[in-house]
Structure formats: structure tokens, C-alpha cells
Amino acid sequence: MNAAKTKRGARGGKPAAKSKSKTAAGKRTGTSRVIARHKPAKPKAAKRVAGRRPASKRAVPKRAAPKRAAPKRAAPKPAAAPTAPAAAKLGIGQPVPDFALPASGGSTWQLRDARARKLVLYFYPRDNTPGCTLEGQQFAALAPRFDEAGTTIVGVSRDSVASHDRFCAQMKFPFLLLSDADGLACALFDVIKEKNMYGRTVMGIERSTFLLDADGVLRHEWRKVKVEGHALAVLEAAQAL
């Protein structure tokens, strides 16, 4: 008989079954019980309070939209400072204030030095232009007769002295041309006007002539002058003065 049978016979029953080993997974194997490994308890979910959501899911209250600022009203413009009243316009019978201007030939002409004789001041727009050239030629042609009438002729424009010198040399004018670059005499006699030139609006000298007596008093004026025949009309007024 072999050893297994001998052992079974000795006990009077079937041979005892060998107990199976415990597994690392903590499961039962066969009839033996395996001790389960300890696992950490899961955190309990927060209890729901009736009518409320969990804190983590609670809706964040919406912020009120910022109020739009009312549009700012434009600040009222400050009232313009009052300007000084314009100088009174020269009128017939009024003495003309003294003034001095640079003249052709490099000299300085002064009104007070022209007294004791009648004076013609003719304002023209520009040197060496057709209308101004013709006007100067007509005064030059009548210069001897003006002299006989005790009258001095002086032309005035805003051109430079150098421009006047060239104009006088070319036209052989027997009288002076004054350079009123700063508009002193033009403002005094109010001859700067708005003009239409080649479709553009510009400010410039309006052709005008003034006759003063030997005391410097304004006796005659001609505005918006038409060149043809003008010098003769001025001569007649000077002879009659």
C-alpha cells in the first residue's frame, strides 16, 4: 500500500484536503477566507439642503451692469472778447493824419512834408500790370499840368521799394511811388477790399484816388476807379480847388 492510503486508513476517512494559500488580491479561494486590504473611505458628498444647490454648483450672482454715464454736454464757448472799434473812416473835409512810408529811390516820404501844395494820392493794386501801368502813364502825361496847378502826384501800392524802382525806371514816372507793405496808408484810407480774381476771392487794394488841399484836408475822393479818363478828372478837380 502506498503512503496516501496508509494515512487515510489511519484516520478512518478520506485524506484531509490541503488548505489553499491566501491570495494577495484579498479574494476567497476555495474554502479559505482572505483578509481584505483596508481602503480609505471616500469623502461623503455634501448633503443637499432643500431648495439649494451644492456650494460648488451654486450660481454666482450676476453683477449689475454699470450705469451708462450721461453724455457730457459741450462746454459753452467763451464769449469773444470785444474788439477795439475800427478807426473812423476819413470823410470829406477832415484833415488826414500824418504818416510816413518808404518811397522809390530809397527815400522816406512823409505827409507833413508835402503840405503847402495840393496832393494827389492814387492807390493802385500792383506794379507792372495792365490797368496800373495805363493809370500811371496817364498821370505821368498830365504831370506838367498838375505841377502848374500846385499839385503833387504820389502813387501807393503794397509792392516793395525794389519793385517800385523797376517800375519807375521802365515807365519813366516823374513822381514817387510809396511802398505800403504793412497796409498803414491802405487802412487809413480804407482801400483794402474783397475782390474776385481769376475765380478766387482775395483781399487787395481797390483802385482809389484822394485829393488833399495844401492844409492836408481831404477834399475829393474817387473809389472803384475806371482808369480811362480818370487822371484828367482828377486834374480838373485840382485846378478848381
pLDDT tens profile 221-240: 999 999 999 999 999 999 99
Q: How many CA atoms lie within 13 A of 4 on its CB side?
A: 4
Tell me which of 62 and 33 has the higher pLDDT: 62
Which pTM was predicted?
0.63
CATH number of residue 199's parent domain: 3.40.30.10
Asked whether residue 75 is domain-assigned, the answer is: no
| Residues assigned a catalytic role | 132
Tell me which of 32 and 140 has the higher pLDDT: 140
Of 77-91, 183-197, 204-218, which gets the smallest average pLDDT?
Answer: 77-91
Asked whether residue 108 is domain-assigned, the answer is: yes
Asked whether residue 3 is domain-assigned, the answer is: no
pLDDT tens profile 105-147: 999 999 999 989 999 999 999 999 999 999 999 999 999 999 9
Asked whether residue 7 is domain-assigned, the answer is: no
Cα separation, 108 vs 115, in Å, equals 15
Per-residue pLDDT band for 6 (boundaries 50, 70, 90) equals: very low
36: Cβ contacts below 8 Å, ≥ 6 apart: 26
Asked whether residue 65 is domain-assigned, the answer is: no
Domains identified in the chain, total number:
1
pLDDT tens profile 151-182: 999 999 999 999 999 999 999 999 999 999 99
Distances 39 to 34, 42, 81 between C-alpha atoms, Å: 15, 9, 93
Asked whether residue 45 is domain-assigned, the answer is: no
Per-residue pLDDT band for 199 (boundaries 50, 70, 90) equals: confident
Asked whether residue 4 is domain-assigned, the answer is: no
- Is residue 60 pLDDT above 60, yes or no? no
Contact 178, 103 (CB under 8 A): yes
Residue range(s) defining the domain that contains residue 200: 100-240
Q: How far apart are the first and last CA of the chain?
A: 183
Asked whether residue 134 is domain-assigned, the answer is: yes
